[in-house]
Chain A
Amino acid sequence: MALEKMKIQSLKKAYEGSYLSPHEVRDEGYEKGAGLDEAYGLFLTWLPKKDSDRHIIPAAAADNLCLEGQRTTCASRIMENYHSPFSAFALEKAAAAGFEVVAKSNLDEFGIGDSTGVSPFKTTVNPWKEGHQGGSGAAAAVASGAVMAAFASDASGGLRQEASYSGVVGVKPTYGRVSRRGLIDYASSLDQVGVLGRCVEDAAYALAAISGHDPKDPTSIDRPVDFDPPLKKPGGPITMACPREWQEAKGLDAAVAKVFGKTLEHLSSQGIQIEEVSLPALKWSSPVTAIIASVEAFSTLANFDGIRFGERARGEHLQDMYVQTRTRGFGPRVKEFLTYGALVSSGKYYQDYFLWAQKCRRFIRDQVLALLENTSFIILPTVPFAPPPLDEKSPGPEPKGHIFTSPANLAGLPAVSLPAGIHDALPVGLQLIGRPFGEGPLLQAAALLEDIISFPGLALGEQEG
C-alpha cells in the first residue's frame, strides 16, 4: 500500500505486522519526496538520511524551527548559512515519539505575512491546482504525501491558513502547551508551535508528541496530555457558536461564504448544534494583532545584525553596517512589517496604537472567552478566501487572511483548521476554536466533523483502516 494513502495508525500497524520496514519507508520517502519537492517547491534543506530501525514517521519541520547542527534559515537571506547550535525542544520531543524530520520546509520569510508560500529561496505551489499558493512547504508536503506530518508555527493564523490552502488539518495549541524554545518566533506573546496532518487523528498524534512542559521555557505550562489517539468519540451532543459577523468580514470571498454556509447546514443536519451568536470584537482582532505582532517583531528581530551570527554586510561604520546588513538581508514584506512595528510604537503612537492594542487584546479575549462559557467551540471559516494565484501580491503590513484566526492567538486558545469543501478545484477550510487546554474535546469534535464532511484528501484518497 502506498505510503501516501496511509494514516499514522496504519503505518504503525504495518510496522508491527512487519509489512513495512523503517528503511523502506525512509527510502520511499526520500525518493518520492525529491520528486514532490521538485514539483511543488517544498523544502529548503534535506537532512542527511538516517539509518535507524526505529518505527519512524516521516515528517517535515518549518525552517524557523531549530535543529542542532542543521541549517536553519527562516527562509531569509539574512540566515542563509546559519546552523543552529541547539534543537527546538518540540522537535526533540517529536523525535523521541518517532517522528523523523527528513527536511526543513519552505515558509514565508520568518513566517511573517499571509502564508503565500513564497520566500527568497523557493516558491511553494499548491498541489491541488497549479499556479496557486500552497501556503507553505510544510502544508503542501503533507497534502502531497511527501511526509505524514509537519511541525510549523502560528502567530496570527499562518499555520491554519496553510492548512486551509493545502486541504489538510492544522492545529495551533493553547499558548504554553508546547515549548517555544528553539522556535525562531517573531511575536512571542502570540506564537505557538503547531502541527499539520492529513487527518485529525494524525494531527493528534503529532500534537501529543510535542506537547508538554519544558522547564527551560518559562512560558511553557505543565499540563498532562489527554489527547493521545485513539481519540474518543465526544460524550454528548456537540454545541458550537458561530459569530454572525463572519459574513461582514473584509475581503470575504463569495465562494468561501458558499462553502462555509453549506457546510454549516450539512453539519446541522447531522446533529451538530450550531448557534448563531454575536462577537463584535471580531472586526478588531486582525488589526490589533498586527499592531502587537509587528511591535514584538521589530523588537525580537533586532538581534539579526550580523554581529554574532548570520550574514553580515560591509559598512563604513557600525550604524552603516547595521543598515546594509538588515536592508539586504531582510525581504520587502519583513521590512514593511518591522517598519510598521517601529512606527506604531514610536513617540506618541505608542499610546495611541500599541498601548491601545494591548488593552483591546484583553477586551477581545474576554469576549471570546465569554462565548466559550456557554458553548464548547466557536466555528468560523479559516480564511476569508481560497488560495490566491501565485502572482497575486500580498501587501501588508496587516495580513489579509487572519481575520478569523487571530482571535485564537490573542486569547491563547487552541484552534484547528480542517478541510470543509472544494471550490474551483481548491480547498476551503473551516476552523474550530476551543477552550483553554481543551485540545482533547477540540480534536474529538474535529474528528467528528471530519467524518461527517468526508473530505477527499489529495493524498489519502479512500480512507484506509
Chain B
Amino acid sequence: MSAEYEPVIGLEIHVELLTETKLFCGCSTAFGAEPNTQVCSICLGLPGHRPLLNRKAAEYAIRAALALNCRVASHTTFDRKNYFYCDLPKGYQISQFFYPMGTHGHVDIKMGGKDRRIGLRQIHLEEDTGKLLHSGSIVDADFSRVDFNRAGVPLIEIVSEPDIRSPEEARLFLQKLRAILLYTGISDCKMEEGSMRCDANVSLRPAGSQEFFTKTELKNMNSFRSVQKGIEYEIARQGKVLKKGGRVMPETRHFDETSGTTKAMRSKFAAADYRCFPDPNVPPLEVEKDWVANIKEALPELPAARLQRFTDLGLPDYDAEVLTSNKELADYFDAALTHYNNPKTLSNWLMGEFLGLLNAANLEVSQSRVTPGALARLLTLKDKGTISGKIAKEVFADMFTTGKEPESLIEEKGLTQISDTGELERLAGEVLANNPGSVSDYKSGKKKALGFLVGQIMKATRGKANPQLANEILLKKLEEL
C-alpha cells in the first residue's frame, strides 16, 4: 500500500454475556438448544408484555467497563432503537443510546515493540436479535426461518476509537481485549460460537492528516485472522480506488472467507432513522457508587496487574507475557507456586514441557491431567536430586498421559536418581576398567573423554545416576590414576 495514505480503523465488537438468563426476561441463554424453545412472551415481543431488567447483566457491563478503564455512568436509561427486521421481535432493540454504561476507556497493546493505546469510545448493554436461517442464500432463498432463542440475550457492544492503524494492530487489539474480558468472567468470547463478533470500519487518509474520510463497514469476519485479512484486503482495495482518482463509497461490505475479499452488500432497507428514545417500560437505572465499588473490588486480578506481579517475582517480561496471555495458564502458575518456590523453573516448565504437550494433544489447560500440585511436587523432587532433570521430563510426560502422581511413577519404574556415593564409586570403577581407551585419552589431555565416561555410567544405570556426582567421582578417580 502506498505510503501516502494511512489506514484509519475502528472496531465494533459485540460480546455475549454469560448470564443465566436474558436481558429482560427469565429465559435461558444456554447455547445449542432446539430452535424456539428458550422463548417467552417478553423476548418474543408479544402484545402486552413488560420487560424486566436483569441486574446481573448490568453488573457484567460495569465489570467490563471497569476492566477496560472506562468511566462508569452514574445514571443510565435503556433506549429503543427502532427499525424493522424479522429477527427483531419488537420492531425495536432495547439498547443504550443516551448514557452508555462505560465511556472514555482504553486498551494498551504492544505493536512492534512499541506501546500503543487504543481508545474505547463506549461500552453499552443491548439485547441480541434472533437468528435467521435461509433455505438458500440470503438473496434467493425460497423461505427463511427465525430462531428466537438468541433474541434478548444480553450483549455488550464495545466501540473503539478509530485509533487502529494496521490490520495486525487490529488483531493484537482483539486478542488483548479478549484476554481482558476472559479475566472478568463475563463472557467466553468464542468467535466460532458467535459469543464474540467483530465489525470493522475502515478508511484511508493522507498520511499525517487529522481529518476523517469516507469509511466502509466490514461485516462477516468470523475469526481474528479474518478480521485481519478483511481489513488488509479493504485497505488495498480502497488504495486502488483512490489511486485511480475515484471516491470510496460509504457502504457496508461483506467479507468472503474463501476468497479473502470484501463485496458490497445489497442494502435490505433504506438507511434507518432509529428514532431512539428512552423505553418508557424500563425505568432508568441509578448506578450507585457503592455498587460500582463492590464490583470493582470483586474483579479478579486483571492481566496488566498480574503481569506486573509476575515480573516482580523475577520473571523476565517474555515469560510474564506468555503466562498472563492465557488466564487459565496464569491461574495454573499461581496454584503451582503455592507449593513450589522457584518461579523461573516453573515458568520454564510451563512454557516448555507443559504447553508443548498440551498443544500436541490439542488440549486446553483446564483439560490437563497434571494438577498444579503434582507438577510442583515433581519439580521439588528434581530440585532435591531425587530424580535428574532428564528423568523428570520423562516422568512428566507419563503424568500427562496417565494422570498418575509423580511419586507413584518414580517408584513404579524405579527411577529414583542414584546419588549413593558408594554405588557410584563402584560403577565408576567398572566403567573405568571397561574403557581403558577413554582413560588414556583423558590422561593424554582429551578432557571430553570424561563426558563419554559419565555417559557410560548413565547408560549403565539407564539415566538414573546423578550426573553431577558421577562426574565428580569419575574425575577424582581419574586424577588418582
- A contact residues vs B (CB 8 Å cutoff): 65-66, 72, 74, 79, 82, 84-86, 88, 180-185, 187-189, 216-219, 295-296, 298-299, 301-305, 307-309, 318-319, 322, 342, 345-347, 350, 354
* A296 and B86 contact, CB distance less than 8 A: no
Q: Mark B456-470, 1 if CB is under 8 A from A, else 0.
A: 000000000000000
Q: How far is the CA of A79 from the CA of B80 in the complex (A)?
A: 24
* A354 and B277 contact, CB distance less than 8 A: yes
Q: Mark B44-62, 1 if CB is under 8 A from A, else 0.
A: 1111111111000000000
* A299 and B41 contact, CB distance less than 8 A: no
The residues of A that contact B53 with a CB separation of less than 8 Å are 218
Q: How far is the CA of A347 from the CA of B275 in the complex (A)?
A: 8
* A84 and B89 contact, CB distance less than 8 A: no
* B41 and A85 contact, CB distance less than 8 A: yes
**Cβ of B282 under 8 Å from chain A:** yes
Interchain residue pairs with CB less than 8 A apart (17): A72-B48, A74-B47, A82-B47, A84-B46, A183-B48, A185-B48, A187-B280, A217-B50, A218-B52, A218-B53, A299-B91, A299-B92, A299-B277, A302-B82, A302-B84, A303-B89, A346-B273
Q: How far is the CA of A53 from the CA of B49 in the complex (A)?
A: 32
CB-based closest 6 A-B pairs = A302-B91, A189-B280, A188-B280, A184-B47, A303-B45, A345-B275
Q: How far is the CA of A302 from the CA of B50 in the complex (A)?
A: 15
Q: How far is the CA of A184 from the CA of B50 in the complex (A)?
A: 10
The residues of A that contact B80 with a CB separation of less than 8 Å are 299
The residues of B that contact A185 with a CB separation of less than 8 Å are 48
The residues of B that contact A309 with a CB separation of less than 8 Å are 44, 46-47
* A299 and B275 contact, CB distance less than 8 A: yes
The residues of A that contact B85 with a CB separation of less than 8 Å are 318
* A303 and B41 contact, CB distance less than 8 A: no
**Cβ of B318 under 8 Å from chain A:** no
Q: How far is the CA of A74 from the CA of B273 in the complex (A)?
A: 28
* B48 and A66 contact, CB distance less than 8 A: yes
Q: How far is the CA of A355 from the CA of B275 in the complex (A)?
A: 11
Name the contact of A305 in the complex, choosing from B44, B82, B84 (C-beta under 8 A). B84
Query: Closest residue of chain A to B86, judged by CB?
Result: A307
Q: How far is the CA of A216 from the CA of B282 in the complex (A)?
A: 11
Query: Closest residue of chain B to A322, judged by CB?
Result: B84
Give the A-B contact count at a CB cut-off of 8 A.
98
Q: Which of B108-150 contact A (CB under 8 A)?
A: 146, 148
Given A188-B280, A219-B281, A350-B275, also A84-B47 (CB < 8 A): yes
* A181 and B90 contact, CB distance less than 8 A: no
* B41 and A86 contact, CB distance less than 8 A: yes
- Known: A88-B48, A216-B52; 14 extra A-B contacts, CB below 8 A, are A66-B47, A183-B48, A184-B47, A184-B48, A188-B279, A298-B275, A303-B47, A303-B91, A307-B146, A318-B85, A318-B268, A319-B268, A346-B273, A346-B275
- Report the count of interface residues on B (CB-CB < 8 A): 32
The residues of B that contact A302 with a CB separation of less than 8 Å are 82, 84, 90-92
The residues of A that contact B47 with a CB separation of less than 8 Å are 66, 72, 74, 79, 82, 84, 184, 303-304, 309
Distance from A463 Cβ to chain B, minimum over Cβ atoms (Å): 38
* A308 and B46 contact, CB distance less than 8 A: yes
* B90 and A303 contact, CB distance less than 8 A: yes
* B275 and A295 contact, CB distance less than 8 A: yes
Given A216-B50, A218-B50, A302-B82, also A295-B92 (CB < 8 A): no
**Cβ of B300 under 8 Å from chain A:** no
**Cβ of B283 under 8 Å from chain A:** yes
Q: How far is the CA of A308 from the CA of B52 in the complex (A)?
A: 21
Q: How far is the CA of A302 from the CA of B272 in the complex (A)?
A: 14
The residues of B that contact A66 with a CB separation of less than 8 Å are 47-48
* B48 and A86 contact, CB distance less than 8 A: yes
The residues of B that contact A86 with a CB separation of less than 8 Å are 41, 48
The residues of B that contact A319 with a CB separation of less than 8 Å are 84, 268-269
* A308 and B45 contact, CB distance less than 8 A: yes
* A84 and B50 contact, CB distance less than 8 A: no
The residues of B that contact A184 with a CB separation of less than 8 Å are 47-48
Q: How far is the CA of A296 from the CA of B280 in the complex (A)?
A: 9
The residues of B that contact A65 with a CB separation of less than 8 Å are 48
Distance from A92 Cβ to chain B, minimum over Cβ atoms (Å): 13
Q: How far is the CA of A304 from the CA of B46 in the complex (A)?
A: 9
Query: Closest residue of chain B to A358, judged by CB?
Result: B277
* A295 and B277 contact, CB distance less than 8 A: yes
Q: How far is the CA of A74 from the CA of B50 in the complex (A)?
A: 17
* B280 and A219 contact, CB distance less than 8 A: yes
Distance from A83 Cβ to chain B, minimum over Cβ atoms (Å): 11
Q: How far is the CA of A295 from the CA of B44 in the complex (A)?
A: 22
Q: Which of B144-169 contact A (CB under 8 A)?
A: 146, 148
Query: Closest residue of chain A to B270, judged by CB?
Result: A319
Q: Which of B48, B85, B269 has the most CB of A within 10 A?
A: B48
The residues of A that contact B91 with a CB separation of less than 8 Å are 299, 301-303, 305
Q: Which of A72, A84, A307 has the most CB of B within 10 A?
A: A307
Distance from B24 Cβ to chain A, minimum over Cβ atoms (Å): 10
Q: Which of A295, A296, A303, A309 has the most CB of B within 10 A?
A: A303
Q: How far is the CA of A134 from the CA of B52 in the complex (A)?
A: 37
* B45 and A318 contact, CB distance less than 8 A: no
Given A302-B91, A303-B91, also A308-B44 (CB < 8 A): yes
* B48 and A181 contact, CB distance less than 8 A: yes
Distance from B456 Cβ to chain A, minimum over Cβ atoms (Å): 82
Name the contact of B48 in the complex, choosing from A84, A305, A345, A346 (C-beta under 8 A). A84
The residues of A that contact B277 with a CB separation of less than 8 Å are 295, 299, 345, 354
Name the contact of B282 in the complex, choosing from A182, A218, A295 (C-beta under 8 A). A218
Q: Which of B258-276 contact A (CB under 8 A)?
A: 268-269, 273, 275
Query: Closest residue of chain A to B36, judged by CB?
Result: A308
The residues of B that contact A308 with a CB separation of less than 8 Å are 44-46, 89, 148
Name the contact of A218 in the complex, choosing from B41, B51, B89, B92 (C-beta under 8 A). B51
Q: How far is the CA of A67 from the CA of B268 in the complex (A)?
A: 37
Distance from A186 Cβ to chain B, minimum over Cβ atoms (Å): 10
Q: Which of B269, B281, B283 has the most CB of A within 10 A?
A: B281
The residues of A that contact B273 with a CB separation of less than 8 Å are 346-347
The residues of A that contact B82 with a CB separation of less than 8 Å are 298-299, 302
The residues of A that contact B51 with a CB separation of less than 8 Å are 218
The residues of B that contact A347 with a CB separation of less than 8 Å are 273
Query: Closest residue of chain B to A346, judged by CB?
Result: B273
Q: How far is the CA of A346 from the CA of B415 in the complex (A)?
A: 80
Distance from B265 Cβ to chain A, minimum over Cβ atoms (Å): 15
* B45 and A218 contact, CB distance less than 8 A: no
Query: Closest residue of chain A to B269, judged by CB?
Result: A319
The residues of B that contact A342 with a CB separation of less than 8 Å are 275
Query: Closest residue of chain B to A354, judged by CB?
Result: B277
The residues of B that contact A187 with a CB separation of less than 8 Å are 280
Query: Closest residue of chain B to A85, judged by CB?
Result: B41
Q: How far is the CA of A218 from the CA of B50 in the complex (A)?
A: 8
Query: Closest residue of chain B to A321, judged by CB?
Result: B86
Q: Which of B53, B86, B283 has the most CB of A within 10 A?
A: B86
Query: Closest residue of chain B to A185, judged by CB?
Result: B48
Distance from B76 Cβ to chain A, minimum over Cβ atoms (Å): 14
Q: How far is the CA of A65 from the CA of B277 in the complex (A)?
A: 25
Query: Closest residue of chain B to A345, judged by CB?
Result: B275
Distance from A281 Cβ to chain B, minimum over Cβ atoms (Å): 21
Query: Closest residue of chain A to B279, judged by CB?
Result: A188
The residues of A that contact B281 with a CB separation of less than 8 Å are 188, 218-219
The residues of A that contact B148 with a CB separation of less than 8 Å are 308
The residues of A that contact B45 with a CB separation of less than 8 Å are 303, 308
Q: Which of A65, A88, A301, A345 has the most CB of B within 10 A?
A: A345
Query: Closest residue of chain B to A110, judged by CB?
Result: B47
Q: How far is the CA of A164 from the CA of B48 in the complex (A)?
A: 27
* B283 and A219 contact, CB distance less than 8 A: yes
Distance from B440 Cβ to chain A, minimum over Cβ atoms (Å): 93
Q: Which of B344-400 contact A (CB under 8 A)?
A: none
Q: How far is the CA of A296 from the CA of B90 in the complex (A)?
A: 13
Q: How far is the CA of A72 from the CA of B146 in the complex (A)?
A: 25
Query: Closest residue of chain A to B84, judged by CB?
Result: A322
